[in-house]
Structure 1
Amino acid sequence: MQSRSQHTDSYYAASANPIKDFPTLQGKQQADVCIVGGGYTGLSAALHLAEKGYSVCLLEAERVGWGASGRNGGHVGTGQRQGQEELEEMVGFERAKVLWDYSLEAVNTVESLINKHDIACDLKRGNLHVAAKPRHEEWMREEAEMLQNRYGYDKIRYVDEAETRQLVGSERYFAGTMDEGALHLHPLNFALGLAAAADKAGVRIFENSRVESYNDQDPVTVKTEQGQVKAKFLVLACNGYLGKLEKRMAGKIMPINNFVLATEPLGEDLARELIQNDACVSDTLFVINYWKLSGDNRLLFGGGENYTSKFPDDISSFVRKYMLRVYPQLEGTKIDYGWGGTLAITLNRMPHFGRLAPNQFFAQGYSGHGVPIAIMGGKLLAEAISGTAERFDVMASVPTPTFPGGTMLRWPGLVAGMLFYSLMDKL
């Protein structure tokens, strides 16, 4: 009997809501849609398709929410991964405005799914983006003004140095923007709640069912070690765990590893000292630090990354040095958990949507902005499969350059670039 994989040892897994085990695929199944990947993209697509009346099989190699969807920082930010000014240069103002509106819908979709399906995931509001260098202060002020005036977004405001340091309890930052339209949550419990909702809606979910191959026929046949699914449509929702499954997509993304720790529960006074308004926080470094308070007042702090197939031997110590640069007052605080996960970045940090064939769709490459955009990606995949592809095609039309050298040479090039920007972070 095949042993069942378990979620990585993390605060999220330790505080996960109960959910039933889904079976391993055995034998033959038929469906309108076969989805490969049980993270946010796949679960969102499955749920939205089932609500439209489609029969759906979802195949997950490990457990639902096992990958980045169950390990990330839990930030649900507005905007795309690139700023609006960069997007205007990339695709023009009109298209950049559409992408901004999609990002707001993405955040609203996360919140509406939580409310509709009564998902307990420590949902909170607000994101504080803080300037790690004095020269970042001016563009943060300009960004807030641009979003207010050019995009009509009234939920963001500029925060000066004194208020920023008061809000985050650290002398390290010089200004910020406070976005009351953003959210943050317990990412694994959100994923598990989506899986439970999809299951209730009739989606057939199979865990420990790694896809080994599929063909380019119509209908498509998707094969695992012990079974197969024949479907009218195929959705690839693998992101950083795509591996060698589909070489036509692999050169557009680069898997990288990011790391998080969770402290012991903090007293209320210390928790409010660290984050006065209980927002989630991220800084402006290229290799960003990001943090928030959990539902039980632990500090969840993400910092540092690597670009190999291996994680650091002691993840807690690896991340702790980044945490102490921000909060030296936590020197004596116990670290209860440290874990890592793999995400996929694109060369220009914009998500990669598209088709491999008329009946084969994919979405990937969220570049660290995956909670809202992956959920939106699943929603747009469901729209495209059901015959309304205009909005999916808007996302698919955003340019996504291939990494120089493809999958063979992307790694040394990326490492060289990341090391350069990491050096710039330190200067």
Structure 2
Amino acid sequence: MTTDPNQAVSYYAASANPAPEHPPLRGDQTADVCVIGGGIAGCSTALELAERGYKVVLLEAQRVGWGASGRSGGQAIAGFASGQQKLVQQVGAQNARRMWDISLEGLQLIRDRVAKYDIECDLHWGQMHVAIKPRQRADLLHEQREAEQTYGYTQLEFMERDKVESLLETRRYIAGLYDHGSGHLHPLNYTLGLAAAASAAGVTIHERSLVTNITHDQPAVVTTAGGRVRAKFVVLCGNAYLNTLVPSLRSRIMPVGTYIVATEPLGEARMHRLMRKNIAVTDINFVLDYFRRSADHRLLFGGRVSYSGLDPFNTSNATRKRMLKVFPQLADVRIEYAWGGYVDITMNRAPDFGRIAPHIYYLQGFSGHGIALTGIAGRLAAEAIAGQAERFDLFTRISHRNFPGGQFLRMPALVLAMLWYRARDLL
């Protein structure tokens, strides 16, 4: 089983709903908007624009959902990876509250789209952050108070060890913060469902159409090996997979490797003993673990990050060892799938939305909160193109810095920083 994050066969791919292949771009086309990237952000943007009457062409370098949107942990979580206080410092308390509300709209958008377009993606509500150490327990209590008192969010339930253990068959966690408003889903099937809805709304999708150049002319010209698209607007949704297409954007995010395993099916009874509710669980270490149930009663367990862009260890074995720290009773269970992919993080872990030209937009930097935020980001980009840019421009007020070290030294610099954070997780 390969550990190359771009090649490993995931459980999601093996259990994907049937989906059509879209032909590569051939020849010249014109559009109102050209969307680059066939993940949740790209499909959401395209769908929103098509439903507003725009002619949209979507270009995907591989297949729809090939990147993070089809490989991730599948957790749809309220808020932002940065936390609210960083947003308050940057944009003020009132605007940070507006951003929080937009994140909740992103969760509702998932609920609405799954129902409206009849997307079969194993959507379930309920997610819990768990504490391993006393200081983390205090962090969870603070998070609950802030959410309730500052943002009026009453979906959080604090649980002590005994209540956590009534839900999870593990002694690892001393407390938990159960979020009844967040949830989890099969990310690839959700993305494929969005693409199907976009196609039905009139979006032209081209797969295996790697973009090699974008001009800033009006209209812009987007070039692939097989053709060109002339468009009044362009929206870049490639995130960690844009590579060198726009170097100024690449320097503002770091592609971080994260890895997931899927066990063999455990059977309904054993899975229910392990996790009594069908929720997603994440610890709050900096190098975190996360897990949830699958529709066919497997445990999906992820974590381990690689800031070097490489996976120097055997992914399946290393992630399995982390799984056994949580559930040692699974020592007899085989791992049937192991895969990885890249999360696009920013220095401050806040999302990075903006323009590289008045008519060329970009969405990136979801920092591990992409299932919900990518969808609502697509709506904000569509609003801006349609002339209602207030909500999109709210996010452009967040300041972002390039990762230090330049092209060759930023990875080693971040690896050193990660050693410090990993040491802190042990304290």
User: Normalised by the shorter chain, which TM-score bucket?
Assistant: over 0.9
- Residues 113-143 of structure 1: CA distance to partner in whole angstroms, max 9, x if unpaired? 1111000000001001101212211121121
- State which drifts further: 112-121 or 144-153: 144-153
Note the C-alpha offset of 1:311. 3.5
Q: Is the 8 A contact 1:311 1:340 kept in 2?
A: no
Write the distance in 2 (CA, Å) between the matches of 1:140 and 1:185: 24
The percent identity for this pair of structures is 47
Give the match for residue 38 of structure 1. 38
Q: Say which SS state the counterpart of residue 135 (structure 1) adopts.
A: helix
CA contact (8 A) 2:129 2:283 kept: yes
Instruction: Map 1:174-185; keep pairs closer than 5 Å.
Output: 174-185=174-185
Q: Does 1:294 align with 2:294?
A: yes
Provide the residue aligned with 2:3 in structure 1: none
Quote the offset at 1:48 in angstroms: 0.4
> Contact conserved, 1:7 with 1:13, CA < 8 A, in 2?
no
For 2:52 and 2:413, locate their aligned partners in 1 and report how far apart those are by CA, in whole Å.
43
Aligned to 1:168: 168
Structure 2 counterpart of 1:162, one-letter code: D
Give the distance between the partners of 2:139 and 2:341, measured in 1 at CA. 31
In 2 relative to 1, CA 340–50 (structure 1 residues): closer, same or farther, beyond 3 Å?
Answer: same
Partner of 2:57: 57
> Which shows bigger deviation, 224-233 or 150-159?
150-159
Structure 2 counterpart of 1:131 = 131
Q: How does 1:8-407 map to 2 (within 5 A)?
A: 8-312=8-312, 314-407=314-407
| 1:360-401 per-position Cα deviation (integer Å, ceiling 9, x unaligned) | 000101111111111111111101111100000011111212
CA-to-aligned-CA distance 1:82-140 (integer Å, 9 cap, x gap): 22234333433212111110110011111111111000000001001101212211121
The change in CA–CA distance for 1:313 and 1:149 in structure 2 (over 3 A counts) is: closer
Q: How far apart in 1 are the matches of 2:263 and 2:421?
A: 28
What is the aligned residue count? 422
How high is the TM-score relative to the length of structure 1? 0.96
Q: Distance in 1 between matches of 2:422 and 2:398?
A: 27
Partner AA of 2:150 in structure 1 = R
SS at 2:235 equivalent? strand
Q: Which stretch has the larger CA shift, 134-143 or 383-392? A: 134-143
Structure 1 residue runs of 4 or more that deviate by more than 6 Å after TM superposition: none
Maintained 8 Å contact 2:287/2:422: yes
The answer (yes or no) to whether the contact 1:261–1:339 under 8 Å persists in 2 is yes
User: What is the TM-score of this pair, normalised by structure 2?
Assistant: 0.96
User: Deviations 1:278-299 (Å, cap 9, x if unpaired)?
Assistant: 1100001001101100111110
**Alpha-carbon separation, structure 2, partners of 1:169 and 1:11:** 24
Q: What is the CA–CA distance in structure 2 between the aligned matches of 1:312 and 1:187, rounded to whole Å?
A: 26
State the superposition RMSD in angstroms: 1.4
Local SS of the residue matching 1:29 = strand
Greater shift, 199-208 or 7-16, is seen at 7-16
Q: 2:409 aligns to what?
A: 409
Q: Which runs of 5+ in 1 are unaligned?
A: 1-5
Cα distance, 1:265 vs structure 2: 1.0
Cα 1:139–1:397 change in 2 (3 A) is: same
CA offsets per residue over residues 308-337 of structure 1, 9 Å max, x none?
343456321121011011111111111110
Take 2:51 and 2:307, find their aligned partners in 1: how far apart are those partners? 39
- Give the SS at the match of 1:305: strand
The 2-side partners of 1:148 and 1:193 are apart by: 34
The Cα of 1:208 is off from its aligned counterpart by 0.4
| 8 Å contact from structure 2 (residues 31, 56) kept in 1 | yes
For residue 322 of structure 1, give the secondary structure of its aligned residue in structure 2.
helix
CA contact (8 A) 1:212 1:224 kept: yes
Letter in 1 for 2:351: P
Deviations 1:132-170 (A, max 9, x none): 212211121121122122211111111112111222211
Instruction: Note if contact 2:156-2:180 (Cα within 8 Å) is conserved in structure 1.
Output: yes
